[in-house]
Amino acid sequence: MNSLYLIPARGGSKGIPHKNIKLLNGKPLIQYSIKVARELADDADICLSTDDPQIKLVAEQLGLKVPFLRPDYLASDTAGTSDVIVHALDFYSQHGKQYDAVVLLQPTSPLRTVQNVKDCLALYTPEYDMVATVKESSVSAVLCYENPEGYLEQVIGGNNVRRQDAEKLYEYNGAVYVINAKAVKEKGLGGFTKIKKCLMTEENSVDIDTILDWKLAEILLDSLNNIGY
């Protein structure tokens, strides 16, 4: 299977300014995803898609050539991931290179491992729209709403269901997506119906969106570095 390893790194982070190039345990955040991609693919098949010249510069200082800067319509808060993926596929197609699948590695998952990606690739077949990493969720045991009388009611399973007996649910963790290139062009991510899960641990599933997430990632990475990660 011919795969494009795509690392989307928009410049306009609001929660954590310049998040994608902020130093996490001494390394720019994007470096963690670049490192994983390089364990699995040649640089020619790794695309860092960004609208930000500063992010482009940092990636190229790490030795990764950045083939383009995203157009303005893909740099806004409302730009869809499907459009970013298709833009990258079209760019390479125009330069004579076709891909069967896209391995999407979001920079906000620095604890994702090479093995996590390999596990997704092992599950993927062309009949699927996508294989996506998930973590087990506790939401079925704790998610409640306030009823018209002002009392809490559990959304799933009823108030008397013990946590260990609650229905098992999963959350997308954003770490790895193996995406059918033909399917994303034809119907976009929102139209996918054939999605297979690949389970990851809670620790490896850290997705950095807030400063609290950042601090947690620092602690976990520091712990892993102490054991030779």
The per-residue pLDDT for range 93-117, each reduced to its tens digit, is 999 999 999 999 999 999 999 999 9
Q: How many CB atoms lie within 10 A of CB 145?
A: 9
- Cβ(224)–Cβ(149) under 8 Å? no
Q: What is the pLDDT of residue 163?
A: 64
Q: What is the pLDDT of residue 76?
A: 75
- The model's pTM: 0.90
pLDDT digits (tens, 9 = 90+) for 56-89: 999 999 999 999 999 988 887 777 899 999 999 9
Beta-bridge partner residues of 48: 7
37 vs 226, residue with greater confidence: 37
Beta carbons within 8 Å of 2's beta carbon, 6+ residues apart = 98, 99, 100, 101
